[in-house]
Amino acid sequence: MKDDKLEKEFEEYFKGVNTPDNITGDAKKYVRTEKRAMPKFLKFASVAASFLLVFALSLTVILKTDLFKKTDGSTDSDASPPSESIFRFYSDSELESRNADAYSVSSLDKSLIFLQNLAVADNAQVSGCKAGYKDGKLFLVEADSELRYGLNRDRTKIYVEFTEENLVYSKLKDYYGGTKYYFNGAEYYLTEQTGENGEPEFKLHISYNGVKYYFFISSPDEEAYIKYLYLIVK
């Protein structure tokens, strides 16, 4: 228990300090708007609206492809997402896939040590490790992890990609569409969505030290993705 009078004395003392300007500017970028839980009927309406929207979009795409195709056979460049023009994609069929475990896969590159760290943690499991090679060169590592903490449980699909910046595994193109944020100076992209079971889902992509990391996290914890940033950014 503090002495009231002395506490007031100290508070007045602190209030006299001329504090530096522009301290909160960067912090404001990190404030995120709260997502409010929707009533059930609104959720149903929202799902129905989503179906209608998807249907309408599909119809638009079909009509656009069939009716507005240019005479030389090329399609309107605006029709494809901007990322398509920047990135080149490769698929499963181009990779030679080898099964592995968290320990052996971690020895392939120092950027994969975090998989081993996850595997040895008492509250985590890592499974489904695979390494994909092209022409003998390591292109992609994937793994599944399950992590329990408190009352929460994360299920996470992890991809680590070692290709050049613009060469991306075709299943990962969606990870580039999220909102850009910064973590300890490192840029990352985050897409938040709600899974079929109502749980928050996150698509997180971060490039760090020339390696590309992708996480698909399903967790009741709305800040679940942060711990994966801590795993990567040192």
Partner 1 sequence: MQTNDGEKLNRLIFAVAKGNADCLDGIYALAGGKMYAVAFSLVGRDYAEDVLHDSFIKIARFAKKYSWCDNPCGWLIKIVRNTALDFIKAKKIRNEVSEEAFYSLSSLGYSPEKRENAIMLEQAMSKLEPEERKILYLIYYLDMTVREAASELEMSKSAVQRLKEKAEARLRELLYGGTNE
- Contact positions toward partner 1, by CB under 8 A? 2-3, 5-20, 23-24, 26-34, 222-223, 226
Residue (68 or 182) nearer to partner 1, CB:
182
Distance CA 8, CA 72 (A): 80
Residue whose token pair is 């504090």: 19
**What Rg, from alpha-carbon coordinates, does the chain have?**
23
* Residue 226 beta carbon to partner 1: minimum distance, rounded to whole angstroms: 8
Which amino acid is located at 95 in the chain? Answer: L
Report residue 229 as tokens: 């940033």
Residue (82 or 220) nearer to partner 1, CB:
220
* Residue 14 beta carbon to partner 1: minimum distance, rounded to whole angstroms: 4
- Are 187 and 206 in contact by the 8 Å Cβ rule? The answer is yes
Report residue 52 as tokens: 């209608």
* Residue 179 beta carbon to partner 1: minimum distance, rounded to whole angstroms: 14
Distance CA 215, CA 204 (A): 5
* Residue 69 beta carbon to partner 1: minimum distance, rounded to whole angstroms: 44
Distance CA 177, CA 203 (A): 9
Residue (2 or 180) nearer to partner 1, CB:
2
Residue (173 or 227) nearer to partner 1, CB:
227
* Residue 187 beta carbon to partner 1: minimum distance, rounded to whole angstroms: 15
* Pairing relationship of beta strands 167-169 and 124-134 according to DSSP bridges: unpaired
Residue (27 or 67) nearer to partner 1, CB:
27
> What separation in angstroms does the CA of 53 have from each of 39, 46, 119, 194?
21, 10, 42, 17
* Residue 166 beta carbon to partner 1: minimum distance, rounded to whole angstroms: 30
- Are 179 and 190 in contact by the 8 Å Cβ rule? The answer is yes
Residue (106 or 219) nearer to partner 1, CB:
219
> Cα-flanking dihedrals φ and ψ of residue 71, to 5°?
-65, -25
